[in-house]
Structure 1
Amino acid sequence: MSAAAPPTHSASMRSDGTGILEQVWRSDDGGWKAALEVDQTNPFFFDHSLDHIPGMLTICGLGDLARNGVWAPEVRRLRGNVAFRSIGELEHPVVVAWGPLEAGRRTARITQGPTVLAEGWVAASVEDETDTHDAQQPATSRLEHAEARLLHRSRAENIMLGEPHPDQQGRICAAVIPPLPGHQLHGDREERYSAEVLIEAGRQYSTWLLHKFGDWPMGTQGLWIGLDIDIPVQVPRTLPVTLRWRRHPIPPGKVLLTFDLVTGDGEAVIGSLGYTSRGLSASAYARYRESRSNS
């Protein structure tokens, strides 16, 4: 796999001006690092008041750094896992990093000073068997959006999930709704679903399911613990894409939810996403944050 070298000490900006990296540089191990911009006025990442750095901001930071040439532009599929180790504090700098390419994969790491916020690995492939010949323009403007409060979203433009519904086999399905031009996750490849859009749609779906099927009360603070991906990244937006969940009991405490990524007709499985979360009550979360600030 070829990979062009990102420019050293350069700002990372997409053509639509939504870049979130302040600086990029070569690391001592032959990988790449970047300083992450934490803009608390950003209408997507800070859709509502937060006392910490959102996990999607760090995931998008890795994505922006990858597009600086760390991964080849012809990559068609990503497989990997990221474990979130600690909550990022708003006041301190964050660094996202890709390790050197080894056996077709790179390590991913997000740090805040000596603290590891998240770490994992991603393998990228230029080969993919996803069938997109039946692409047709999805009527996303006519799709009913999932209820914002069940996704922990306050702005309608940040909802990337259609209202979930059961299929004939009793599986719960929800359409992926790509964002409009100008949105943080729209990117500069309008014709394709980005990895970040698929990941965010799945994250919103996991939140919805935890409330609707896991009986998490509103006000529960969900801690995002892990992300597993096996997703195509060259799927045209003219192909309707749906997240499909096979119903099973959702226990309290630590929860893993996995979704099939399927084409609009529900027949072709083109990928999968997995989300591990832990729910805390408002009081338990306050105690957790207090313990972290005193450590």
Structure 2
Amino acid sequence: MTKTRILAALVMAPAVIGAVLLLPTGWLMLLSALVFLAALWEWLKLADIEDALARSILLACNLALMVALVWGSRSQHPGALPLFQLTVVLGVAWWLLALLWLRHYDFASRHDGNARVFKLAAGTAAVVPAWCALAVIHASQPNGHRWLLLALLLVWAADSGAYFTGRKFGGQWFGGRRLAPRISPNKTLEGVAGGVGLAMLVAIIGALLIGAKASQLPAVALAAAVTVVFSVAGDLFESLLKRHVGAKDSGTLIPGHGGVLDRVDSVLAALPVFALAKIWLGF
């Protein structure tokens, strides 16, 4: 399984990097929409929507929302995406609410209509703003494609930093307290700290390579830290959905990695936060 996981990662990572750096924003939006909608398809299943026709209709509604956002953002200025920016803000607001949801493990855990409604709304609130954030970052000038790659690198660095720090120092720095024992027992506060630290280092180095000014580095480091915290929330929220339905993975599409949602859960939360920070802090 480990070998399969590594081989799949070696295929996916260059493909993602190449797409971010080489594709124009429009084509990247189209490609990423396919990926995010595939993740949403799995989210709908975790929300107890077993019927394929019902899931297809719900997926089509989300696709229509994406198309409407594109249509409503038409402008003579390719980088002007006002509706996308508004959706990014709404996405960050949603993830703030998700932090509260994570504190109340049993909320919407029952397999009834009310729980489905909350989880369906959460799916749209997670996927569509992340897609908008990807477009906003990539279309920004100058070097939007590089900033988007850096945002993704932050998530990957945080994941690696959390894994190795957690294995080495888990339970030693915070009195053995776990991050969210009912949702993801293996996640430690030490791991989160290690992930944040490595991501901040990657952010500073990456920003310098992109061409950021020295005066902008504190803002970039702060944005990286907050982005990583929310990326952890994204990962935990998917884990919460899986525990509610007793699933190990969101799907089986990616060998050794589970489903698409298993790979992009952190990204869904990270991209809106990074995009808003980039706009707000001006780097």
The question of a shared fold, defined as TM-score above 0.5 by the shorter chain, is answered with no
Question: Which structure has more helix as a fraction of its residues?
Answer: 2
So what's the TM-score if we normalise by structure 1? 0.28
- Larger strand percent: 1
Larger relative contact order (C-alpha < 8 A, sep ≥ 6)?
2
